[in-house]
Amino acid sequence: MFRLALINPNTDARHTEAMGAVARETLPGECEVTAVSPERGPASIESEADSVVAAAAVAELVRELPAHDAYLVACFGDPGVDAARELTEAPVVGIGEAAFQAAVTVARRFAVLTTLPRSVPELEDALDRHGMRSRCVAVEPLGIAVADQGSHNPATTAAIVVAGRRVVDRDRAEALVLACGGMADVARTVADEVGVPVCDGVAFGAMTAYGLWRCGLRTSKAGAYGWPEAIDYAGMPGFGGSP
């Protein structure tokens, strides 16, 4: 049986539960999803400062959780993904990277719908990092915070639909990427309303993690993702050495 740990790097229990439900609905029935979030930290991740705190929480949770077959970091900025890959041999997937991979698989041109305008430069950097900037025709902010995303807020879903139609008509986007884990449970609604593929990193990321596990692929320990060196940490346990 495949066991997935879905880690929401913020402390919003509603979003943690909603993303866990999306992963469970997407994966085969015999799979088990444990959806967790840190006990302290930001309630949502809007800034680089929030992301740094959240990344540390991801690393701590990977170290503290019982071993799982794969890990899904469920924040679009993928905080702590590289650190998590150093801390386990199991596959670690970030929902941001997963959503971009989905988009370039199903379309030649895609647009990203995000939350606040301040997140646009970070998303542009992520597109560059993944080599996908040339395929992205727009990064469109909604002006709506992370905490207000999700099926419990129909007005936000309506705003996503309006923005989606705009980038399809104006920029000729052929697919949409929802750049927030909180949007995961409205992806199918948006796809039905806009009429193009809508790439949600929670669903596709869960299946990517499952596919890696099913193919017997593990995180390489031969180089960059090798176990951290045994370095002394002041006032807290370190991460060094293999488990």
The SS3 call for residue 11 is coil
pLDDT at 49: 96
Burial 137-175 (b: 16+ CB within 10 A, else e): bbbbbbebebbebbeeeeebbebbbebbbbbbeeeebbb
237 confidence band (pLDDT: 50, 70, 90):
confident
User: For the chain, which residues make up each domain, given as ranges?
Assistant: 3-95+204-214, 96-200
Is CATH 3.30.70.360 the right assignment for the domain spanning 96-200? no
What's the whole-model pTM score? 0.95
The 3-state secondary structure of 157-210 reads HHHHHHHHHHHHHHHCCCEEEECCHHHHHHHHHHHHHHCCCEEEHHHHHHHHHH
> Do residues 73 and 65 touch, judged by C-beta distance below 8 A?
no
pLDDT at 236: 85
- State yes or no: pLDDT of 240 exceeds 80: no
pLDDT at 8: 98
Q: What is the pLDDT of residues 5-29, one digit of tens each?
A: 999 999 999 999 999 999 999 999 9
241 confidence band (pLDDT: 50, 70, 90):
low
Record the tokens describing residue 25, joined without a space. Answer: 């609905």
Q: What is the pLDDT of residues 95-153, one digit of tens each?
A: 999 999 999 999 999 999 999 999 999 999 999 999 999 999 999 999 999 989 999 99
- State yes or no: pLDDT of 176 exceeds 70: yes
Given 3.40.50.12500, 3.60.21.10, 3.40.50.2000, 3.40.50.1700, which CATH number is that of 3-95+204-214?
3.40.50.12500
> Which region among 105-119, 169-183, 186-200, 228-242 has the lowest average model confidence (pLDDT)?
228-242
Q: What is the pLDDT of residues 46-99, one digit of tens each?
A: 999 999 999 999 999 999 999 999 999 999 999 999 999 999 999 999 999 999
- State yes or no: pLDDT of 243 exceeds 90: no
Q: In sequence order, what E strands does the chain have?
A: 3-7, 32-36, 70-73, 92-94, 110-114, 136-141, 175-178, 198-200
Sign of CA dihedral 74, 75, 80, 81: positive
Closest CA to 160 of 186, 124, 138: 186
Q: Do domains 3-95+204-214 and 96-200 have the same CATH topology?
A: yes
Place of tokens 């302290």: 40
